[in-house]
Structure formats: structure tokens, C-alpha cells
Amino acid sequence: MGLKVWINGRLYDKADAKVSVYDHGLLYGDGVFEGLRSYGGNVFKLERHLDRLYESALAIRLKIPIEREALAKAVNETLHVNSIADGYIRLVVTRGAGSLGLDPNRTSDPQVIIITDYISLYPQELYDKGLEIVTVSIPRNHAAALSPRIKSLNYLNNILAKLEGLQAGCSEALMLNLKGEVAECTGDNIFLVRGGALLTPPVDAGILEGITREAVMELARTKGIEVREIALTKHDVYVADECFLTGTAAEVIPVVKVDGRSIGTGEPGPMTRDLITRFHRLARGAI
């Protein structure tokens, strides 16, 4: 049996799951989304993801036509219908179909979509040996123009950076903000280890408040590791002892080379390896 997709309270075969070509989510990227993971049939940080989804919708004045509790129940039911235990969930809310033109007031019937499937961003070899990334020329959107804290359907800023990274032979790319400070990667948050402390850019550097990022910071603090959210530059990256990325799809992945420069020993470091192990245990409810 093929996968089912939940749209506004109904389940559709994957091939029949459709929205209108007049939907402003398609025409203008007008909508919001969340990516979530399930481990052993349990959705990781579901409530926190729903917090962010509804906050993103509020920020763009999009009314989600379903209560949080009902949406949470629908996520779990869609996983069950598709017999997915360890999978990936994409929650999407579009502005809905309307006339041509930007005016959101001329739309109706927002589409709430739940896709449950599988995802594998990187091969296991890169989790074992580490990733190489490159800094790209595409800056992160200015937070005053389009807040990166809104997880919107318009990801062109990230896609352009991703294309530049791929052209350089790297599957992930580091983006700076307009001040030249480290922001985040195209789909992941970034962490550095220096002198036994864990460093990561602050929210006002123009980043998405990653939920895996939050979980890793809490794991570090519970072990007595100093966690500092501070402005970082490429210099800080180059001289770091360790570097790793976090994200719902990527989980926690080591970075061993940036812009052709080896980070630390050029191999995944001890703090990175420990946080990977403890994150996996947390995700599966072992801690």
C-alpha cells in the first residue's frame, strides 16, 4: 500500500495529494511549515514544533484552521496509517487559493498538509568521518526584511546558497549575515567547540531557532559544558577545536573541513561524538 497524505482532515494517496495552482503557497511562497522526526513511533519535540508553526503563522497573519490538539492527533494518526516508526514529517500550511496578485485577503481555504515519509540527508560515512562545508557569497536574509525565525515556504535564499555550495563540491554551505558574522547553514544551525566551551550564533545573528539546536544546548548544559550564544566570525570557525551542525533532518553531524581548512584534528572531536550519542539516546527516550 502506498503512502497517504493528510490534507484538511482527509487522507489521499500520495499521487492524488494536490492543491490548487492558484494557491498562494505555490504562487508566492505564502505559507509556513515544520519538519519533524519520529523515533520508534514517537514524534520528537512535537509540542515545540507546533509552538514554532503557530508562531510562524501568527507572524505572517495566517490563521491555521485547526486547533493544536487536533493537529497533533492528526500527525500521529498519519504516521500510524503509513506504518512509519522512524520517519520524517512535513507539516505545511498554505495561504490557500485566491486570485492572481499578492493580496492575502483575496484568498480562502488555507491548506493544512501532513506528509509522513522517510529522509536521509547524508550517508552514514559523513556522520562517521565528518562533513566538508564552504562559506558562500549569498548572505542570510536581513532579519528586518524577512525574519529567519519565520519558517516560511519561501526558501529561495537558502536554495541559492545551497546551489553555490554544491557548485563548490559541498553538500552544505555556511551563510554569513550582512555584518559578515556567521549565521547558519542552508538547512542547519552551526556549533563550534573552543577551549571546552560550546559556541553558537545568537538568534539576533539572523538564524532560525532550531529545535535540535535547543536540544543539543540543553544536553551540553546538563553535562556542565559552558554554552555561549555569541557573535562569531569565519576566524572563529577556522580556529575552532571542533565544529558540527544540527537540524531535524540532519540530526547532529560533524564538520571537519571549512573552506578547505581542517578544523581541529581534521576528524570528529570528542564533544561532537558525545553529543551525537546522547542526542540519539534523547530522541529515542533513553534519557
Indicate which residues carry an active-site annotation. Answer: 151
For residues 201 and 149, the answer to whether their CB atoms sit within 8 Å is no
> At 12, phi and psi to the nearest 5?
-125, 150
What is the CB neighbour count within 10 angstroms for residue 19?
18
Q: Which residues of 120-141 are buried (b: 16+ CB within 10 A; e: fewer)?
A: ebeeeebbeebbbbbbbebbbb
For residues 152 and 60, the answer to whether their CB atoms sit within 8 Å is yes
- CA 34, CA 114: separation in Å to the nearest integer? 10
Residue 261: C-alpha distances to residues 183, 239, 264 (Å): 19, 10, 9
For residues 55 and 11, the answer to whether their CB atoms sit within 8 Å is no
The SS3 of residue 153 is coil
